[in-house]
A and B are shown apart, each in its own frame.
Chain A
Amino acid sequence: MRVSLRVNGTEAEADCWEGESLLWALREQLGYPGSKNACEQGECGSCSVLFDGVLVCSCLVLAAQADGHEVTTIEGLADGDRLHPVQEAFLETGAVQCGFCTPGLVVAAAYLLERSPEPSDEEIREALSGNLCRCTGYEKIFAAVRLAARSQVGREGRG
């Protein structure tokens, strides 16, 4: 079936079979391999994308469900070479090791900060608890989210 959607602001079309996930369509058909597949059942968050602005596991969304909808992937967060504050903060705090979880965590963290610009430590932990990381023990990821929150607040403060 033909599926038409917008990915990172660009119109896209894919020829999908009925059982195909949005993740598969993004990675294998539409040229957005940034979202990762690590569990196929919504447990690890590596495939996190924004679906009409809401955080979802793209492995749990059928490609067909995305017809007529808007998807933002990890590839859509930076503005060319200008990184999203969460991306900058991940680099700065050492929150990236193997990096396989990073795209999903960056999307989830950006989504958190959009809704809650100054999250408490508990909020950060809960918001990221659907994203598994096996390398870092999360400590530096929390540091990255706090740093990104500060840099965003600072930016807004400067007007």
Chain B
Amino acid sequence: MTTTLEPRKLRLGRIGDSPRRVDGTPKVKGEFAYSSDLSAPGMLWGHTVRSPHAHARIVSIDITEAVTVPGVRAVLTHADVPGEKSYGLEFRDQPVLAIDRVRYFGEPVALLAADHPEQARRAAGKIRVDYELLEPVTDMERATSQPPLHPGSPTSGHGYRDDPRPNVVRSILIRHGDPEATAEVSVEGVYETGIQDQAFLGPESGLAVPDGEGGIDIHVATQWLHADRAQIAPCLGLRTEQVRVHLAGVGGAFGGREDVSMQIHAAILALNTDRAVKIVYGREESFTGHVHRHPSKIWAKHTARPDGRLVRVEMRILLDGGAYASSSTAVCANAAAFACGPYAVPNARLEATVVYTNNPPCGAMRGFGAVQTCFAGEAQMDKLAAALQIDPVELRLLNALAPGDTLPTGQRIECSLPTAEVIRRAAALSPPEPEPLPRDPLRLPGGAGNTTRGEGIRRGTGFAVGFKNICFSEGFDDYCTARVRLLADGSAEVYCAAAEVGQGVSNVILQVARTELGIDEVRLAPQSTVTVGSAGSTSASRQTYMVSGAVRDACRAALEEREARGEGEVDVERVYRHLPTTPLDPETGQVTGERAHVSFGVAAMRVVAEVDIDLGLTRIVWIGTAQEVGRAIDRQAVEGQIEGGIAQGLGLALMEEIQTRDGLITNASFTDYLIPTALDMPPVETVIVEDPDPDAPYGIKGVGEPPTVVSTAAVVAALRDATGRELPRAPVRPDEIVGL
């Protein structure tokens, strides 16, 4: 049963084409090597022993019985960490292995390596850890008055606002305009969002291989090879160049692979045993193996004139960072900076605080910070529209942010930002007419459960607009390196360490190189720290933007050198930097230079939902969305990012939440933590708006995050319309939409 379809598109694509993925064929054949598929001769299996408590003092660790289990080759604790005992993405506040205290459920305490993973698992049960339980800090509202979990305040002294309260990771206050400004109409609300998991399909995994000379090669699924290396090497007590990090196949990321997971652990075991060591997390372990989306509580007040013009926005945002800092400081800043959404707001007071607790550590997840405040801000815009008796879309258009306007941080918008057009294009999409009854149960809330024939069903429509920055911010020296070799046979090879996490950056690199070099024969070398400098992180919607700049510059330099030299092989490396940013003033939250953020993305969305008000079940019927993308390098890939981003936002709106009790995760499985299935996702109609950004390579913007930012807000808005309930919390629980 084989046949060949006529390829509709060019196999070798340039900018603007939609070529087939360069990694597509091995992926559909099952031949693509993910990090969990790797092996090496004589390989051992590593295993991590984790804390069953959210907060405890470690009295003692006894490994004597575990080391006698057949097949076990190493049992290691913090004493065996050869270098620095702690690491961290931005602040070194997280022990490689717990030393005298555990601060979250699942914190790594000990490591084992054995011939077979089952031997390691059984031996793990024979490690005796004597814990003395401590009261866990689990309520983020009380955290700032409880004893500090990190007495040294690891994040203080980094230019942030001085906040002496215990357990504050960072707080930020943006004061904009006249603090006394007021107007006739105000609406208030308190909103909450739960902890969301990235739930990438390919669990954390990798392979560490000692080189026999004291160094090590680590093959891992990650978002930033060079940042991993910078954290790994000091903990191993090795020089940077002794640690080589290679990208293994990545089964999704969404922010959850920005922090180090098993990298250092596998390396320590490998160096200790002088054997290759592989670690693969199971799904349950994965839930404790990476950071999550911060849960939030947000107090908001929006004030407007009777004609609908926004006069003032006040928001107080509280985020639970969990046990370690991860990227909480950036999430906190984003929450405040984008709290007003894509609207011109002349006066604002935006305060965000992220705290340490003994809950699961939180960090980067698609749309970080902006997802939470969009949920609150867009609910407020709907409330305001109702109070003003203005159409919600009209209210948004009236206040739509445009180039030349000033953000609450004092930054003037200089990139393209056609907010009004995006709103109009999304609003113009026509949702399908209500379907007559009777219907196939799959087209009703409850679906295959066959729980209704249509009785108790209410339909609602929601609208929302999402707004977020593109690229890194606040003075971070962000750059991307690319290296191009022009070979004697007329072909070219590109080296770029940008992590392909599934989003398709490999194709972007090749499309840019083919366009610039004017040839089709371009290959992408394996991503590694060995052959090229840092590409920066695959996160913050930055990687397509950044690699496009770097590969473009390297290609042009290569052609120039070829021109100058006439003949022979050319090999050049170039570093691309976007426009420089500067920090926000720690006291006022105002820009200290021209800009704190590089570029901005905006997406608008209309959602139709049906709710069974007897059972609290929902069916999202249809989603229509418009998003501004600068310029689409590959429209099919852009659509894929938008559709996939929507699914994650829909998940947070309807079903996704890590449940905790006293800091312990109680639903660490795909049986208990639900993500949208093929039956949960509605048809999605997408309008791509192109308005090239003059400062960006080829005018492009990153596209991955805005769809996730907007869709939680838009989906819950549809449920509010269907039920008339306030629904201030995401995910919406069934019992909140029954009994009308």
**Genuine A/B complex:** yes
A34, B280: Cα distance in complex, Å: 16
Tell whether, in the assembled complex, residue A36 and residue B644 are in contact, meaning their CB atoms are under 8 Å apart: no
Residues of B within 8 A of A36 (CB): 34, 36, 201-202, 251
Q: Which residue of B lies closest to A99 (CB)?
A: B27
B252 partner, pick from A19, A35, A43, A134, beta carbons under 8 A: A134
State whether the Cβ of B692 lies closer than 8 Å to any Cβ in chain A.
no
A44, B286: Cα distance in complex, Å: 14
Binds A, one of B3-11, B78-86, B367-375, B596-604: B3-11
Q: Within the complex, what minimum Cβ distance (angstroms) separates A91 from chain B?
A: 5
- Residues of A28-49 at the interface with B, using a CB-CB cut-off of 8 Å, are 32-41, 43-44, 46
Tell whether, in the assembled complex, residue B637 and residue A137 are in contact, meaning their CB atoms are under 8 Å apart: no
Tell whether, in the assembled complex, residue B201 and residue A85 are in contact, meaning their CB atoms are under 8 Å apart: no
Tell whether, in the assembled complex, residue A98 and residue B202 are in contact, meaning their CB atoms are under 8 Å apart: yes
B197-216 vs A, Cβ < 8 Å mask (1 yes, 0 no): 01111110000000000000
B678 partner, pick from A41, A74, A142, A155, beta carbons under 8 A: A142
Tell whether, in the assembled complex, residue B2 and residue A98 are in contact, meaning their CB atoms are under 8 Å apart: no
State whether the Cβ of B647 lies closer than 8 Å to any Cβ in chain A.
yes
Q: Within the complex, what minimum Cβ distance (angstroms) separates B313 from chain A?
A: 31
A142, B675: Cα distance in complex, Å: 18
State whether the Cβ of A11 lies closer than 8 Å to any Cβ in chain B.
no
State whether the Cβ of B438 lies closer than 8 Å to any Cβ in chain A.
no
A93, B33: Cα distance in complex, Å: 22
Residues of B within 8 A of A87 (CB): 28-29
B175-212 vs A, Cβ < 8 Å mask (1 yes, 0 no): 00000000000000000000000111111000000000
Tell whether, in the assembled complex, residue A39 and residue B678 are in contact, meaning their CB atoms are under 8 Å apart: no
Q: A35-B30, A99-B32 are in contact. Are A139 and B684 (CB under 8 A)?
A: yes
State whether the Cβ of B563 lies closer than 8 Å to any Cβ in chain A.
no
Q: Which residue of B lies closest to A152 (CB)?
A: B3
Q: Within the complex, what minimum Cβ distance (angstroms) separates B433 from chain A?
A: 17
- Residues of B425-450 at the interface with A, using a CB-CB cut-off of 8 Å, are 440, 442-443, 448
Tell whether, in the assembled complex, residue A125 and residue B442 are in contact, meaning their CB atoms are under 8 Å apart: yes
B28-63 vs A, Cβ < 8 Å mask (1 yes, 0 no): 111111101100000000000000000000000000
Residues of B within 8 A of A140 (CB): 636, 639-640, 643
State whether the Cβ of B508 lies closer than 8 Å to any Cβ in chain A.
no
A88 partner, pick from B5, B647, B677, B681, beta carbons under 8 A: B5
A92, B36: Cα distance in complex, Å: 27
B502 partner, pick from A73, A85, A135, A137, beta carbons under 8 A: A135
B643 partner, pick from A35, A37, A137, beta carbons under 8 A: A137
Residues of A within 8 A of B3 (CB): 82, 85, 88, 151-152, 155
State whether the Cβ of A138 lies closer than 8 Å to any Cβ in chain B.
yes
Q: Which residue of A lies closest to B440 (CB)?
A: A122
Q: Which residue of B lies closest to A142 (CB)?
A: B678
Interface size band for A: 35 or more
Binds A, one of B17-25, B144-152, B334-342, B548-556: B17-25
Tell whether, in the assembled complex, residue B4 and residue A83 are in contact, meaning their CB atoms are under 8 Å apart: yes
Tell whether, in the assembled complex, residue A41 and residue B670 are in contact, meaning their CB atoms are under 8 Å apart: yes
A85-115 vs B, Cβ < 8 Å mask (1 yes, 0 no): 1011111111011111111001000000000
B34 partner, pick from A73, A100, A155, beta carbons under 8 A: A100
Q: Which residue of B lies closest to A140 (CB)?
A: B640
Tell whether, in the assembled complex, residue B675 and residue A132 are in contact, meaning their CB atoms are under 8 Å apart: yes
A80, B200: Cα distance in complex, Å: 30
Tell whether, in the assembled complex, residue B30 and residue A137 are in contact, meaning their CB atoms are under 8 Å apart: no
Majority DSSP secondary structure for residues of A touching B? loop
B283 partner, pick from A39, A134, A155, beta carbons under 8 A: A39
Q: Which residue of B lies closest to A43 (CB)?
A: B670
- Residues of B519-535 at the interface with A, using a CB-CB cut-off of 8 Å, are none
A97 partner, pick from B8, B30, B502, B677, beta carbons under 8 A: B502
Residues of B within 8 A of A155 (CB): 3
Q: Which residue of A lies closest to B253 (CB)?
A: A98
> Which of B251, B280, B636, B678 has the most chain A CB atoms inside 10 A of its CB?
B678
B28 partner, pick from A82, A98, A102, beta carbons under 8 A: A102
State whether the Cβ of A118 lies closer than 8 Å to any Cβ in chain B.
no
A-B contact count (CB 8 A): 207
A131 partner, pick from B36, B280, B440, B678, beta carbons under 8 A: B678
Residues of B within 8 A of A33 (CB): 30, 33, 37
Residues of A within 8 A of B448 (CB): 126, 129
A47, B621: Cα distance in complex, Å: 30
Q: Which residue of A lies closest to B681 (CB)?
A: A138
State whether the Cβ of A133 lies closer than 8 Å to any Cβ in chain B.
yes
A130, B680: Cα distance in complex, Å: 12
Q: A94-B639, A125-B678, A139-B643 are in contact. Are A83 and B29 (CB under 8 A)?
A: yes
Residues of A within 8 A of B675 (CB): 132, 134
Q: Within the complex, what minimum Cβ distance (angstroms) separates A113 from chain B?
A: 9
Tell whether, in the assembled complex, residue A100 and residue B442 are in contact, meaning their CB atoms are under 8 Å apart: no
Tell whether, in the assembled complex, residue B2 and residue A83 are in contact, meaning their CB atoms are under 8 Å apart: yes
A89, B8: Cα distance in complex, Å: 11
Q: A106-B28, A125-B678 are in contact. Are A100 and B2 (CB under 8 A)?
A: no
Q: A137-B643, A151-B5 are in contact. Are A126 and B20 (CB under 8 A)?
A: no
A134, B365: Cα distance in complex, Å: 13
Tell whether, in the assembled complex, residue B201 and residue A134 are in contact, meaning their CB atoms are under 8 Å apart: yes
Q: Which residue of A lies closest to B21 (CB)?
A: A96
A67, B175: Cα distance in complex, Å: 70
Tell whether, in the assembled complex, residue A100 and residue B202 are in contact, meaning their CB atoms are under 8 Å apart: yes
A135-149 vs B, Cβ < 8 Å mask (1 yes, 0 no): 111111110000100
Tell whether, in the assembled complex, residue B5 and residue A135 are in contact, meaning their CB atoms are under 8 Å apart: no
Tell whether, in the assembled complex, residue A134 and residue B640 are in contact, meaning their CB atoms are under 8 Å apart: no
A134, B282: Cα distance in complex, Å: 17
- Residues of B456-470 at the interface with A, using a CB-CB cut-off of 8 Å, are none
- Residues of B238-273 at the interface with A, using a CB-CB cut-off of 8 Å, are 249-254
Residues of B within 8 A of A94 (CB): 18, 21, 636-637, 639-640
A37, B7: Cα distance in complex, Å: 31
A32, B31: Cα distance in complex, Å: 9
Tell whether, in the assembled complex, residue B24 and residue A126 are in contact, meaning their CB atoms are under 8 Å apart: no
Q: Within the complex, what minimum Cβ distance (angstroms) separates B686 from chain A?
A: 9
Q: Within the complex, what minimum Cβ distance (angstroms) separates A112 from chain B?
A: 11
Tell whether, in the assembled complex, residue A97 and residue B201 are in contact, meaning their CB atoms are under 8 Å apart: no
B501-541 vs A, Cβ < 8 Å mask (1 yes, 0 no): 11110000000000000000000000000000000000000
A151, B482: Cα distance in complex, Å: 40
Residues of B within 8 A of A70 (CB): none
Tell whether, in the assembled complex, residue A75 and residue B684 are in contact, meaning their CB atoms are under 8 Å apart: no
State whether the Cβ of A54 lies closer than 8 Å to any Cβ in chain B.
no
Residues of B within 8 A of A135 (CB): 201, 252, 502-503, 640, 644
Q: Within the complex, what minimum Cβ distance (angstroms) separates B498 from chain A?
A: 15
Q: Which residue of A lies closest to B711 (CB)?
A: A137
7 example contacts (A-B, Cβ-Cβ < 8 A) are as follows A32-B30, A38-B283, A39-B669, A83-B2, A83-B29, A100-B201, A122-B443
Task: Please give 13 more A-B residue pairs, beta carbons under 8 A apart, in addition to A82-B3, A134-B201.
Answer: A36-B201, A38-B283, A97-B502, A126-B442, A128-B678, A132-B670, A134-B675, A135-B201, A135-B640, A137-B646, A138-B678, A139-B643, A139-B684
Q: B residues engaging A (CB < 8 A)?
A: 1-5, 7-9, 18, 20-21, 23-25, 27-34, 36-37, 118, 198-203, 249-254, 280, 282-283, 440, 442-443, 448, 501-504, 636-637, 639-640, 643-648, 669-671, 675-679, 681, 683-684
